[in-house]
Structure 1
Amino acid sequence: MSDIIQLLPDHLANQIAAGEVIQRPASAVKELLENAVDAGATSVQLIIEDAGKALVQVIDNGKGMSATDARMAFERHATSKIKSIEDLFNIRTMGFRGEALASIAAVAQVELKTRRAEDELGTRIFIENSKVTDQEPVNHPVGTSIAMKNVFFNVPARRNFLKSNSTELRNIIDEFTRVAMAFPNVQFTMHSNGQQVFFLEKGSAKQRIVQLLGNQYNAKLVAINDDTDYMVIRGFIGKPDTARKTRGDQYFFVNNRFIKSAYLNHAVTNAYDNLIAKDSYPSYVLYIDLDPTEVDINVHPTKQEIKFTDEKIAYAFVQAAIKHGLAQFSLSPSLDFSLNADIQQLDAVHQPVTDGMTEKVQSSKLFQAFSQKNQAHIIEPDTPAPASNFTGWQQTKEQNKEIQKSIAGQKDNPQTEVWQSELSKLRNSFFDTSSKTAFEGFDHEHRPASKEARFGWLPNTPLIQLHNTYIVASSTDGYMLIHQHNAHERIMYEQLSKAIHGKAVATQQNLFPVSIMLSPADTVLLAEILPDLKQLGYQIEPDDSGAFIIKGTPADVEIGNEQKQVEDMLERLKHFNSDIKFSKREKLIRTLAYQQSIKTGRYLTEKEMTAVVEQLFLCATPNTTPGGQPTYVSYKLGQLERMFG
């Protein structure tokens, strides 16, 4: 029998190895930008064409390379930074200049131009399939230019697995952002298909953060600066009011290298305990400097996953630094997060009290009754507020009866007209239909559904809201406990799914169009989904300045809140994009269904509760949300009877 084990050809081995380092154009962007920084560059340019599929070029003004080094840099295992095993555990640079270049040269056509300051002429090298096809002297400024063209041209199967241009471009922007944020002392520019995406001047860390993440952070950052014997922690964290419902802008840098660490993220989140809601996430950009021997960066080929020699110490120092920063700026809990978030935005919550407001309060009968001696028991009724539970509704009915009795017995009394007015106010306050609700955009179909379609719900029985979160509904053999947010999310999901494939959602035109300026990453994302958003009721158009004009929104988006709705939608969609099992359109529908559904903690009228329950049981899949959470739980009469013996 002949021998069957053989060595792989060099070009095939290089392509297999390249798969660990160069997974997409963004991977090459990361490696080339890091190499430019390691070369001592003070100015770095990134040029992209066709989302990196046609071209990724990085131009720097670093120290450049000699002709010999330029050729050696593309050999496997070639590096200028490792000479002994000790060097491997004492790395202070970003890349290993050569490791990535060999991988890039294995899957793309590469052109390198470089010159050192002491050389009169530079060197040009062209490589294809890991082989140098051309090398010659060339005029070139001091520094290096590397152009990666036609990525995966020789591995078409891998090229077919690349995502859409907008997705690949967002990945490139993410890598660019991470490197640029780590080195604010370096000027970075980025162009895509001839359009400038970034121009980042040298500056402070805070200036770079605001340049990359947006002006909304300018007055929302708290400085962190803790110097210990083990590590130095500096950077910025967002004030509690910048916390988001999805993982927002969170960046860790260890010795200027971007890392991902669920362990350290937990330390930061814990430091915000009682300052933000339990289901919210803080924003932060933190730079950690420590002895390279205390950290292992070779856990993963991308070097984004690291290990500390003592993770408990790192956790404790990070948490302490965040708590110290928050305490230094006297940031303490000021909001009750069990309240509806809409309440926290009311003028009474966040606007200062004026002299006129104080005078108005002090002149009221209620204030005088409590402030004057022996008057606390004298409280004259004002217009009653809407009932918030079943008990309050019963009390309102009793008040209604008393007023009616008084009117019947006092027909000729001048006060009767006042009582009739009070009765009218009472009715209007309880059955108020004038306010704008989340149900205005509903396609109301108040047709009776079959008993089977309603899953046993008895439509002519009263509904009760518990804790402004749950709806109690009677059923044929017991009762149902319906979660108002989950139920409405299912309703919105099915309505949006129909709309995106059929008749578009109605758009309410804004009297005053709203202009919003987004970060480059969000700009790419919004431009990608504009056609689908139009079908779902949003009229948003780009303008010449790079901003977007919101001209119309679905009927259930509150007027004056359009910008926040769009920003929140993009934030949620960004962090939904990592789930590859859903299409782009499905992710958008699920994002909007969650965002536009009524929230827990919101009071619902009888009419609104009926609309939720009625439409839930008209859904094709009424028992769960799109994400699989239950919308209701059924309880049988037998269970109740057993509980009561």
Structure 2
Amino acid sequence: MSDIIQLLPDHVANQIAAGEVVQRPASVVKELLENAIDANASEIKLILKDAGKTLVQVIDNGKGMSVTDARLSFERHATSKIRSAEDLFQLHTKGFRGEALASIAAIAHVELKTKQDRDELGTHILIEGSTVKSQEVVVTPKGTSVSVKNLFFNIPARRNFLKSNTVELRHVSDEFHRVALAHPNIGFSMYHNGSELFSLQSSNYRQRVVNVFGTKTNEKLVPVEEETEVLKVSGFVGKPEFSKKTKSEQFFFVNHRFVKSPYLNHAINAAFEGLLKEGYHPSYFLNLTVDPKTIDINIHPTKTEIKFDDEHTLYAILRSSVKHSLGQFNIAPVLDFESNTNLDTPYDYKDKAGKTPTIEVDSTFNPFANERTVAPSSIRHGQQRQYTKAPAANWESLYVGLESKGNKVQNDFAEVTFESHPETASIFKTEDVEQEKTTYQLRQKYIVSTIKSGMLIIDQNRAHQRILYENLLKQLTSKEATTQQLLFPINIGFSIADVQIIKQLQSDLEFAGFEFSEVKEEQVIITGVPVGVPESEVSIVLEQLISDVENDVPDQNFSASDLLAKSMAKSLAIKTGQTLNSEEQEHILNSLFACKEPSVSPTNKTTFITLSVDDIEKKFMS
């Protein structure tokens, strides 16, 4: 039998590796930014075209590379960070696997310009699909510039899986935020299609958070500081009243590297227990510093997952640190059993001597005496004023003759009749209505109704979503939504990236009934809302809409009107746990079956099920 196992060519192996490392333009941005940081750059510039599909360019002023290093950097498993396996547990840099540039070069056109400070000329390399097209000297400033063009040009299937520019740009912005927040001492700037989106100067951590997420974020932050032998925690958590329905403002940085850890996230949620409304998530921007020997960051190609030696200890420290900060800054109630505030002396009386109160009593005062008496006020002021008490009225005369007519009074009371309103027959038979009640609410989640064939069970939240979705979609397509003017405008603060999404959907929001007086860089002023949308729900509706736009909206199926209708229906629908009276239950039941697609919610989930009499009888056969 002939041999069938063979070594893969380098360009095929690189394309396979690229599938693990490079999933979308945001993956390229992450790798290039981390390389710039490892090069000790103090200023890093990110330039994008078409959300990174056409161009991703990162320019830094780091130490640059020599001619040999520039060429070797595109080889697989070529790195300057480690020399042996033991070095994996002493990592203080970002990239160390030596696969990033090789994988990127396998599926894109890459142009590299780099120069060290001591050299007069730099190196210029062009690579297309792992093939080096040219290498020559060039005049270039100190540092490195890497341009990645036409991503996935040789893998069209992967390129077709990319989402819309809006979604891809959001993923790029997320990676940019993660790197920028982890290194506030480095200046970052970001440009997209020629317009500047971010310009972050070197600053402290609080200022970096505010610059990324908007000036209104400053009032939301609660500092967290704790240092132990195992873990050092620093950063900020958001106040409970500013919590969001999305997890867009949750950041863990372990040794200046962004990581995702559901276990540690649970510790934060435990610290906020009892302070958040159901369905809301806390915001946090926390830096964790641990010994590199106690962690393993080499368990995933993107290095966003991490393993800790002693997770339980870190969980307890993190939970206690956050809870202590919330109590220290009077965010959460704190019990102090060592002091009684009722016994505290006010500051105004701290140096004053105690004074015994005096009481004056007029011992000669008699309210039943008829004779003239001296008024107490006269005694008090040294005057001889007099007054005479009026004799009591002849009250005995009021009861003359009642004793002799006692029997008659009793007889009269026995025949007393009371006036009452005349009874009028109602045209509605209320008793019959109660008997004919056909809908019931089960666990404040389901509406149960009887039908000819058996029983109907409706999920009230999904059913209401379907009803609202079709009504909203009709208004958006016909552009006949009614706007309710607000007495006072609503001013809502958003991050720069969120405002960009609102600008893109502004016309559709106006067709839905929203009215904007101004859409600034970090805030939105709303003067009108759709009829039926409470003012308190406006920010929730917009946040949910932004979250839906961020998450996987395919190009070919993207419809702003459909997305807006789904998002608003999700935000405004009746929630599980809400009690409904009989009329409301009947209204949902009738409205649902008046819809075009009553059987599924806008997200294609079942809205109701039926149980036939036969199904019920089978349960009793055993």
CA–CA separation in structure 2 for the residues paired with 1:251 and 1:594: 26
Partner residue of 2:259?
259
Q: Is 2:158 the partner of 1:183?
A: no
Paired amino acid for 2:55: L
Which 10-residue stretch deviates more, 460-469 or 563-572? 460-469
Q: Is 2:194 the partner of 1:194?
A: yes
Partner residue of 2:274?
274
Which 10-residue stretch deviates more, 541-550 or 294-303? 541-550
Match of 2:530 among 554, 557, 565: 554
Which 10-residue stretch deviates more, 260-269 or 305-314? 305-314
Partner residue of 1:619?
595
Paired amino acid for 1:198: F
Partner residue of 1:73?
73
- 1:569–1:591 contact (8 Å) kept in structure 2: yes
| 1:498-509 equivalent positions in 2, closer than 5 A | 498-499=474-475, 502-508=477-483
Q: TM-score, normalised by structure 2?
A: 0.74
3-state SS, counterpart of residue 593 of structure 1: helix
CA–CA separation in structure 2 for the residues paired with 1:471 and 1:5: 62
Match of 2:465 among 482, 489, 500: 489
Partner residue of 2:155?
155
CA–CA separation in structure 2 for the residues paired with 1:291 and 1:545: 41
Query: What CA deviation, in whole Å up to 9, does each residue of 1:257-291 have, x standing for no partner?
Result: 11111111111111211222343221111111111
- 1:46–1:57 contact (8 Å) kept in structure 2: yes
Query: What CA deviation, in whole Å up to 9, does each residue of 1:444-501 have, x standing for no partner?
Result: xxxxxxxxxxxxx99974978899877787767998786654442232133335555x
Distance 1:160 1:481, change over 3 A: closer
CA–CA separation in structure 2 for the residues paired with 1:505 and 1:605: 31
| 1:433-448 equivalent positions in 2, closer than 5 A | none
How far residue 530 of structure 1 moved from its aligned partner, in angstroms, is 4.2
CA–CA separation in structure 2 for the residues paired with 1:467 and 1:85: 57
Paired amino acid for 1:63: K
Unaligned regions of 5+ residues in structure 2, if any? 335-417, 424-432
Paired amino acid for 1:254: V
| 1:9-408 equivalent positions in 2, closer than 5 A | 9-96=9-96, 98-332=98-332
Q: Is 2:597 the partner of 1:592?
A: no
Paired amino acid for 2:281: Y
How far residue 93 of structure 1 moved from its aligned partner, in angstroms, is 0.6
How far residue 133 of structure 1 moved from its aligned partner, in angstroms, is 2.0
- 1:507–1:552 contact (8 Å) kept in structure 2: no
How far residue 407 of structure 1 moved from its aligned partner, in angstroms, is 5.8
Identity of aligned residues (%): 48
Partner residue of 2:374?
none
Query: What CA deviation, in whole Å up to 9, does each residue of 1:212-237 have, x standing for no partner?
Result: 22333211111111111111111111
- 1:75–1:102 contact (8 Å) kept in structure 2: yes
3-state SS, counterpart of residue 157 of structure 1: helix
- 2:166–2:550 contact (8 Å) kept in structure 1: no
How far residue 122 of structure 1 moved from its aligned partner, in angstroms, is 2.0
How far residue 509 of structure 1 moved from its aligned partner, in angstroms, is 5.7
- 2:541–2:572 contact (8 Å) kept in structure 1: no
Which 10-residue stretch deviates more, 608-617 or 626-635? 626-635
How far residue 91 of structure 1 moved from its aligned partner, in angstroms, is 0.9
How far residue 37 of structure 1 moved from its aligned partner, in angstroms, is 0.9
Partner residue of 1:423?
none
Quote the RMSD (CA, aligned, Å).
3.8
CA–CA separation in structure 2 for the residues paired with 1:329 and 1:635: 58
- 2:496–2:521 contact (8 Å) kept in structure 1: no
Partner residue of 1:567?
542
- 1:550–1:562 contact (8 Å) kept in structure 2: no
CA–CA separation in structure 2 for the residues paired with 1:460 and 1:583: 46
3-state SS, counterpart of residue 330 of structure 1: coil
CA–CA separation in structure 1 for the residues paired with 2:247 and 2:521: 29
Length, aligned pairs only: 524
CA–CA separation in structure 2 for the residues paired with 1:551 and 1:459: 47
CA–CA separation in structure 1 for the residues paired with 2:580 and 2:269: 33
- 2:77–2:97 contact (8 Å) kept in structure 1: no
Distance 1:75 1:484, change over 3 A: closer
Distance 1:29 1:38, change over 3 A: same
Unaligned regions of 5+ residues in structure 1, if any? 335-403, 410-456
Query: What CA deviation, in whole Å up to 9, does each residue of 1:347-389 have, x standing for no partner?
Result: xxxxxxxxxxxxxxxxxxxxxxxxxxxxxxxxxxxxxxxxxxx
Paired amino acid for 2:469: Y
3-state SS, counterpart of residue 288 of structure 2: strand
Distance 1:406 1:81, change over 3 A: same
- 1:253–1:259 contact (8 Å) kept in structure 2: yes
How far residue 552 of structure 1 moved from its aligned partner, in angstroms, is 4.5
Paired amino acid for 2:498: D
3-state SS, counterpart of residue 286 of structure 1: strand
Which 10-residue stretch deviates more, 560-569 or 199-208? 560-569
Partner residue of 1:433?
none
| 1:538-549 equivalent positions in 2, closer than 5 A | 538=514
Paired amino acid for 2:532: D
3-state SS, counterpart of residue 64 of structure 1: coil
How far residue 241 of structure 1 moved from its aligned partner, in angstroms, is 1.2
CA–CA separation in structure 2 for the residues paired with 1:243 and 1:544: 22
Distance 1:490 1:155, change over 3 A: closer
Distance 1:50 1:580, change over 3 A: closer
3-state SS, counterpart of residue 219 of structure 2: coil
3-state SS, counterpart of residue 211 of structure 2: helix
3-state SS, counterpart of residue 140 of structure 2: coil
3-state SS, counterpart of residue 219 of structure 1: helix
Distance 1:128 1:577, change over 3 A: closer
How far residue 506 of structure 1 moved from its aligned partner, in angstroms, is 1.1
Paired amino acid for 2:235: G
Distance 1:587 1:311, change over 3 A: farther
How far residue 317 of structure 1 moved from its aligned partner, in angstroms, is 2.0
CA–CA separation in structure 2 for the residues paired with 1:217 and 1:552: 25
How far residue 525 of structure 1 moved from its aligned partner, in angstroms, is 3.0
3-state SS, counterpart of residue 478 of structure 2: coil
How far residue 182 of structure 1 moved from its aligned partner, in angstroms, is 0.5
3-state SS, counterpart of residue 117 of structure 1: coil
CA–CA separation in structure 1 for the residues paired with 2:564 and 2:509: 8
CA–CA separation in structure 1 for the residues paired with 2:99 and 2:106: 11
Paired amino acid for 1:48: L
CA–CA separation in structure 2 for the residues paired with 1:578 and 1:297: 31
How far residue 598 of structure 1 moved from its aligned partner, in angstroms, is 3.5
CA–CA separation in structure 2 for the residues paired with 1:54 and 1:11: 22
